[in-house]
Structure 1
Amino acid sequence: MLHLSTLRFRYASGRAIRNVCMAVGLIFSAPAWAEPITVVALGDSLMAGYGLAPEAGLVPQLQAWLTEQGRDVVVVNAGVSGDTTAGGLSRLDWSLTPETDALIVELGGNDMLRGLSPEEARANLEAILKGGQARGLPMLLVGMKAPGNFGADYKARFDAIYPDLAAQYGAVLLPSFFAPLTEMADPAAAHAMMQADGIHPNAEGVKKIVAGLGPKVLELLGRVKSFSP
């Protein structure tokens, strides 16, 4: 005959084993997407944060904005000041580490400022998008608008690069990096959000640009699939 104390011991032991098994099951059934999403932001000085304090650059401000949205994301700053589309393409392979889940491409401004061929910029950006596509990465392409300095034909050819490639490669498109500033009703207020060089936004300008960029990044994150380690 079993004593009551023996039954209690067996019941307690069985319950402990069951609890351990449940805990182990929860650990191994946890979805892989519980890990932070890693987004590589490939770009030039606008991405690198030229002329700004480290915490005021585009990537840190975007990171903070995404955190405020409750998103568990790590944005990797792969911006290099002065980089052209050719420069971005040359460092694509080592920028896209195995941890990369999504790619932001912000390049072309320096090609435009130097009057380089729009066809050359298009070819380089296409090669970058092909590289991201080959890795199965959802992508966000940040567009640029050329001024009229090089003529209407140059502007038309350059401006068409971004919507064309975004459609071709299924990338999320932000039509114009500077739209949040250029579309302000008060030109003086927009000018006050630029650094002295008239090319790079200051900290307040970046904040306004991030407010326009952020929703597009959320759309990008929505395309990131869960993955197995």
Structure 2
Amino acid sequence: MLITFSFPTARKHYEARHCSSAILAVVLFLLSTPVYAQPLRLLIFGDSLSSGFDLPEGAAFPNVLSRRLRADGYGDVMVFNGSEAGDTTADALQRLPLALQYGADLVIVEFGGNDMLNQTDTRTIYANLDQIITICKAQGARVILAGMAALPKFGSAYKGAFDAIYPALAARHKISLYPFFLRGVFGDRRLMLSDGEHPNVFGVQRIVAGILPMVEKNLELIRRHYSVARGSR
């Protein structure tokens, strides 16, 4: 099940009914779930690479991931599309509390590309992502960090410092790292939009196929945790 909601601070403005519809969908899902079952909440928290920028309806990363999970037997997983095009890590940190409003068992954090294009100080990017991960974990969520890679045009020093952010954070927080969100997609014109920066429909499918095993592994660990917690009562 996919839940899409919008943010008051976002650059695009949506009508309030979208948020109301999301809340209603959550309530209806929970009411229809057996009391003994533990629905899992997966939050996709990123920028235009995961928000579905310039893609047909239903072709965004959260949509495709939700369908793949359902096909693999994870029909109890609620996927929340909390991504917003244009966001930097600073923007993400500001709206994180709202993104976590329904709670989350697993969060895929996908940010940094816009910071890189703005040549933001890598220490600032690290600090923002560090806070985002810390807050998610404090809420009881597991985190998958989706890495990015700096473009060579910004120089080897910046690229080296930027690329090192993600493995360093994954090691510090002991979380799963998907090394490069656009792995196998970036640079392939068959899988990218004409702007050369965002994945097309086929590119999204490739991304989902790549990250899916890591997502399912984390969901299984969460299920096991809940099962043990129920058994100890």
1:81 is aligned to: 85
Give secondary structure in 1 for the equivalent of 2:41. Answer: strand
Aligned residues: 192
Q: What does residue 11 of structure 2 align with? A: none
Identify the match of residue 69 of structure 1 among 53, 72, 97. Answer: 72
Structure with greater helix share of residues? 1
Pairing of 1:202-213 with structure 2 (within 5 A): 202-213=200-211
Distance in 2 (CA, whole Å) between partners of 1:203 and 1:63 is: 15
8 Å CA contact 1:108, 1:121 repeated in 2: yes
Where 2:127 maps in the other structure, the secondary structure is: helix
Percent identity reads 40
Shift in Å at residue 31 of structure 1? 7.6
Q: CA RMSD in A?
A: 1.6
Equivalence for 2:213? 215
Normalised by the length of structure 2, the TM-score is: 0.78
Distance 1:99 1:120 in 2: 26
Alignment of 1:218-229 (within 5 A): 218-224=216-222, 225-226=225-226
Once the two structures are superposed, the pairs formed by residues 29-68 of structure 1 within 5 Å of their partners are: 32=36, 34-68=37-71
Aligned counterparts of 2:129 and 2:139: Cα–Cα separation in 1:
16
How many angstroms apart in 2 are the aligned matches of 1:219 and 1:31? 24
Q: For 2:104 and 2:41, locate their aligned partners in 1 and report how far apart those are by CA, in whole Å.
A: 5
SS of alignment partner, residue 127 of structure 1: helix
Separation of aligned partners in 2, 1:170 and 1:135: 16
Which of structures 1 and 2 has the bigger CA Rg? Answer: 1
Q: Match for 1:165 among 145, 165, 169?
A: 169
Correspondence list, 1:119-198, <5 A:
119-182=123-186, 190-198=188-196
State whether residues 41 and 78 of structure 1, in contact with CA within 8 Å, keep that contact through their aligned partners in structure 2: yes
Q: Displaced runs of 4+ in structure 1, greater than 6 A?
A: none
Structure 1 unpaired stretches of 5+: 1-29
Structure 2, unaligned runs of 5 or more? 1-33
Counterparts in 2 of 1:7-18, with a 5 A limit? Answer: none
Does the residue aligned with 1:104 lie in a helix, a strand or coil?
Answer: strand
Match of 2:12 in 1: none
